[in-house]
């Protein structure tokens, strides 16, 4: 897994363009222009457009998987696990919003084995999250609403947080974490 400096630059520039316009609306010439080189020169560093997307999406998906496994297998209570998950999402949002945008919006443009393994990781992640919620309900820590409703109301918020963090980016991360955990767990009224 050797990744040259130039390759990282290309991926970074591409991810910024993908975030604004989406994978399909960004051409190799767009990426090259931003770097001040010609499109053909990109191929000295990367295999192709697909590889950029794969790296962006799969690397981040692996990071989520790793974090989830660590939290899920810990000795924390369900509620504490959810708190940790919320904080992990916020940390990733703050440091990697471009890759997160690609993961959210452009994963379906992956191909072959990459697409398969992404979907598998995503399903596993959700299944782990669901189990934590169910354990909390069985536990009486969490109210007895439909687990699916709880799952997606939390996950939707966390997944699209990157859209808001850039717009109203002045929020301090620790304030955000504190209020976010409170709103998602204890409600607003």
* Sole binder of a copy of itself in the list 3, 8, 20, 174 (CB under 8 A): 20
- Lookup: tokens for 106: 């452009």
- Give the interface size with DNA as a residue count (CB under 7 A): 20
Cα 51 from chain centre: 18
For the chain, state the CA radius of gyration. Answer: 18
DSSP class of 37: S
- Lookup: tokens for 153: 């109301």
For residues 14-53, which are near DNA according to CB under 7 A?
A: 26-30, 32, 36-41, 43-45, 48-50
CA-based torsion, 30, 32, 35, 38: positive or negative: negative
**Interface map 32-61 toward a copy of itself (x if CB under 8 A):** ------------------------------
Q: How far is the CB of 22 from DNA (least distance, A)?
A: 11
- Does the footprint of a copy of itself cover residue 146 (CB under 8 A)? yes
């Amino acid at each position: 897994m050797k990744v040259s400096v130039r390759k990282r630059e290309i991926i970074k520039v591409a991810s910024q363009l993908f975030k604004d316009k989406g994978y399909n609306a960004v051409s190799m010439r767009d990426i090259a222009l931003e770097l001040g080189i010609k499109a053909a020169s990109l191929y000295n560093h990367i295999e192709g457009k697909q590889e950029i997307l794969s790296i962006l999406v799969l690397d981040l998906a692996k990071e989520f998987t790793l974090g989830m496994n660590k939290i899920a297998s810990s000795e924390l209570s369900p509620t504490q696990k959810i708190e940790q998950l919320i904080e992990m999402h916020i940390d990733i949002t703050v440091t990697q919003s471009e890759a997160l945008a690609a993961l959210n919006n452009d994963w379906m443009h992956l191909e072959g084995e990459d697409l398969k393994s992404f979907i598998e990781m995503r399903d596993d992640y959700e299944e782990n999250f669901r189990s934590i919620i169910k354990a909390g309900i069985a536990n009486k820590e969490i109210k007895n609403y439909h687990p699916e409703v709880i799952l997606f109301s939390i996950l939707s918020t966390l997944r699209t947080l990157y859209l808001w963090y850039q717009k109203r980016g002045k929020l301090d991360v620790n304030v955000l974490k504190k209020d976010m955990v409170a709103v998602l767990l204890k409600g607003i009224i």
